[in-house]
Amino acid sequence: MAILVVDDFYDARILLERILKNGGFSDIVMAASAKEAFTLLGLGTTTKPRENFDLILMDLVMPEIDGIAALTHIKENDALRDIPIIMVTAQDEVESLKTALDSGALDYIAKPVNRIELLARVRSGLKLKQEIDRRKDNEKKLLAMNETLQRLSFVDGLTGIPNRRYFDQLLDQEFRRASRDKRWLSMIMIDIDYFKNYNDTYGHQQGDTCLKRLAQIFRNALMRPADFVARYGGEEFAAVLPDTDIQGAIILAENIQTKLTEARISHGSSKVSDMVTVSLGVGSWVPDKSAKPSNLILDVDKALYRAKWDGRNRMRRTDETQ
């Protein structure tokens, strides 16, 4: 573990270094002033710190910048404030020592330095630093785990695309934005034709493989980063298209149908084709304040129902259901 010794007296630095090395500590860095210590710590410079220090031994009384000012400056830095700092002080510096402890110093060692006392306090400080590092590492791992769980809670476990929960949140977000900015918002509902027959014919494992492949086809058919598709439930998918009017939505819906036709996924028990096909409902709005996302979903779902009623393997717009 790395220890930084800060003292303006050469002999004092050498004494501390010798005691520490004899006590089993080999990674010791010396600084003759607070400014030099700041440079080693990466404070006030664009250069990276020499290394990550685990403990600082610092003289209380130094020229230019004294130990209290240096201590305060170090503790103000988020990346450095957890480094334990032990002040080295003369017996008659009681008031300054109290200020240092109030400013965040962990402990102090009095001059002339006692070898056993110094090593005991250094080991105690390093043990504290190890515990702080362990806690921070656990917090990082927990944060990463929570972020992973949060991400997974928005992802469909089978297809790897956003799930219904994420769809609902994003639709609500885009709906409010479109309403506020008076912009177009489009939506496409997609239903796989005769998918129950597909499962009955090929088995559920092959059905799952088909769903995963279709999810990628639908996602690849979208043209802009802001567009997204989610698994809405079962064999239904839904796409949200911000800043897209009805003509743009129709183009994307047709692109989905084209990509699916090119994929040529066999479906021997479909009543409309020997390949997997989909029915689509398409709608576009500039939402007003009285409308709700659920109103948009209902309108597009009606268009999807009309596409299925009219024979499947086709697209219908919301204005065709009026």
The residues that are catalytic are: 235
Query: Kindly report the CA angle at 29 between 26 and 35, in degrees rounded to 5?
Result: 170
* CA pair distance 106, 112, nearest whole angstrom: 19
Residue with tokens 């480094």: 83
